């Protein structure tokens, strides 16, 4: 399931340093001439696509990005130092447009891609530059030009990492409200949620994931009861499902029977979803007296014969919710690392196979003059094989 994560940031490039006014002053060298150096160029601001980010959550914490100003020139023909650039890391897939003009200034498609979004100011000239045959002692200098500044609108299409599964009223929307800034409607009647909602759960500025809240499922959903199972397709590309169970349903129904029914619907709908990693989240713990929570929850777990991870939370009070979010984050980070490793291995394998294929195709006499310069060799295979394996 896709949705657009958005953020607005200000990028301000450094101004160019000013040129210096100076004259050489040394013993025995009268009228030494102009020696004011140029200023340094201002630093620019770049956006760089980083693989380890998947949301724009970080930009809610920091909104202004500044590159350094160029140093001023000095006497003795010393130029000012160039200002340091500022590199802002954004997730792969981010599109940045200029807020004022609407023009797209960066569309970052590949990890590592780096695009300048605010150019540093040009350096000013020192008076040594203005020396001429008619003016041997110029007093003219120029100032550096200002760095570019822009307000950027960042947009990212994101996929949900985690999907919430559960009966109507289990508290799915309440949990996503507790953990993210998404504000889906919450009410004490079934089928409050009629379409999926996504929320960005931010653990720290650079650590976040996306959670999907979909309409509740009921027994017979696969046959079209309730809102049916059509929303389950939105969970097909998630890495993890959270099965939310109301530990004390208001209609006195048995949470275990309800939970079994959901899993049954899941299995009927798709074997892939059924086999996806699933954790149990026992919600509404605040409805139980503190000394009964553990027993009550253990009974549900036993009756379900559940052996996977379990968390007890209260989506309303937030009890246990942040802990759950940080365990999810760690789990997803491990998954991402594994995926990156596998992708790297697949790429290495494809590159090796490609090289072998090229060596086999080349006629023996040409083998020595390797393949690099021959377009027919480096063309289509090198493009297709890594991606076909990846
Ligand atoms: N006491 C208590 N009530 C909760 C908790 N979580 C949710 N609720 C209440 O349960 C009701 C249903 O919550 P929702 O978040 O709308 O449930 P949902 O799973 O999104 O329901 P649907 O959208 O209908 O599928 C609301 O009245 C919530 O206030 C909780 O942890 N404790
Ligand atoms: Mg809901």
**The model's pTM:** 0.68
- Mean pLDDT: which of 70-84, 192-206, 333-347 is highest? 70-84
DSSP letter assigned to residue 362:
S
Arithmetic mean of pLDDT, 244-264: 92
Q: Which of 249, 198, 190, 242 is nearest to 217 (CA)?
A: 190
- Relative to the alpha carbon of 189, which ligand is closest? 1
Arithmetic mean of pLDDT, 296-303: 95
What band does 386 get if pLDDT is binned at 50, 70 and 90?
A: very low
- For ligand 1, residues with CB inside 6 Å are 166, 168-174, 186-188, 190-193, 215-216, 283-284, 286-287, 314-316
Domain 162-335 has CATH 3.40.50.300: yes
Domains 1-128+138-156 and 162-335 share a fold: no
Asked whether residue 371 carries a pLDDT value surpassing 80, the answer given is no
End-to-end Cα spacing for the chain: 22
Ligand 1 centroid – CA 345 distance (Å): 44
> What are the helix (H) ranges across the chain?
172-179, 255-269, 271-275, 293-304, 321-361, 375-378, 380-389
Asked whether residue 390 carries a pLDDT value surpassing 50, the answer given is no
Spatial separation of the C-alpha atoms in residues 102 and 144, rounded to whole Å: 28
pLDDT at site 389: 35
DSSP bridge partners of 288: none
Ligand 2 centroid – CA 167 distance (Å): 9
pLDDT-wise least confident of 127-141, 149-163, 182-196: 182-196
pLDDT at site 385: 37
pLDDT-wise least confident of 90-94, 112-116, 263-267, 385-389: 385-389
Ligand 2 centroid – CA 240 distance (Å): 19
What band does 3 get if pLDDT is binned at 50, 70 and 90?
A: low
Spatial separation of the C-alpha atoms in residues 65 and 75, rounded to whole Å: 32
Asked whether residue 364 carries a pLDDT value surpassing 70, the answer given is no
What band does 145 get if pLDDT is binned at 50, 70 and 90?
A: very high
pLDDT at site 216: 85
What band does 377 get if pLDDT is binned at 50, 70 and 90?
A: very low
User: Which residue, judged by its Cα, is nearest atom 16 of ligand 1?
Assistant: 186
- Mean pLDDT: which of 217-231, 260-274, 307-321 is highest? 307-321
What is the fold of 1-128+138-156? Spo0b-associated Gtp-binding Protein; Chain: A, (2.70.210)
Locate the domains of the chain by residue range. Answer: 1-128+138-156, 162-335
- Relative to the alpha carbon of 315, which ligand is closest? 1
How many percent of the chain have pLDDT more than 90? 55
User: Which residue, judged by its Cα, is nearest atom 24 of ligand 1?
Assistant: 191
Ligand 2 centroid – CA 284 distance (Å): 14
- Relative to the alpha carbon of 169, which ligand is closest? 1
Neighbours of 259 (CB within 10 A): 24
């Amino acid at each position: 399931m896709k949705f657009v994560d958005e953020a607005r940031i200000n990028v301000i490039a450094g101004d160019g340093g000013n040129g210096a006014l100076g004259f050489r002053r040394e013993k025995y060298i009268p009228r030494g001439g102009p020696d004011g150096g140029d200023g340094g160029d201002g630093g620019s601001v770049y956006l760089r696509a980083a693989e380890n980010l998947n949301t724009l959550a970080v930009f809610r914490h920091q909104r202004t990005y500044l590159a350094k100003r160029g140093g001023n020139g000095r006497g003795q023909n010393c130029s000012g130092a160039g200002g340091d650039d500022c590199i802002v890391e954004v997730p792969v897939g981010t599109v940045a447009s200029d807020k004022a003009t609407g023009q797209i200034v960066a569309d970052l498609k590949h990890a590592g891609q780096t695009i300048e979004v605010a150019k540093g100011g040009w350096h000013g000239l020192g008076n040594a530059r203005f020396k001429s045959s008619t003016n041997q002692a110029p007093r003219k200098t120029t100032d550096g030009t200002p760095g570019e500044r822009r307000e950027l609108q960042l947009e990212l299409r994101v996929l949900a990492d985690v999907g919430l599964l559960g009966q109507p009223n289990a508290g799915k929307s309440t949990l996503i409200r507790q953990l993210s800034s998404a504000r889906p409607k919450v009410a004490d009647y079934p089928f409050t949620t009629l379409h999926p909602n996504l929320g960005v759960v931010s653990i720290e500025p650079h650590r976040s994931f996306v959670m999907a809240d979909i309409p509740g499922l009921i027994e017979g959903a696969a046959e079209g009861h309730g809102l049916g199972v059509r929303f389950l397709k939105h969970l097909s590309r998630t890495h993890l499902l959270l099965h939310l169970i109301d530990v004390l349903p208001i209609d006195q129904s048995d949470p275990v029977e309800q939970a079994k029914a959901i899993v049954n619907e899941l299995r009927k709908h798709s074997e892939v979803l059924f086999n996806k990693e699933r954790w149990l989240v026992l919600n509404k713990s605040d409805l139980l007296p503190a000394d009964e929570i553990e027993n009550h929850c253990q009974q549900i777990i036993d009756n379900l014969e559940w052996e996977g991870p379990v968390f007890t939370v209260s989506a309303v009070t937030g009890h246990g919710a942040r802990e759950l979010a940080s365990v999810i984050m760690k789990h997803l980070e491990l998954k991402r690392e594994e995926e990156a490793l596998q992708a790297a291995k697949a790429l290495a394998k494809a590159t090796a196979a490609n090289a072998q294929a090229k060596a086999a195709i080349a006629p023996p006499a040409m083998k020595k003059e390797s393949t690099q310069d021959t377009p027919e060799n480096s063309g289509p295979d090198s493009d297709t094989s890594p991606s076909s394996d990846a």
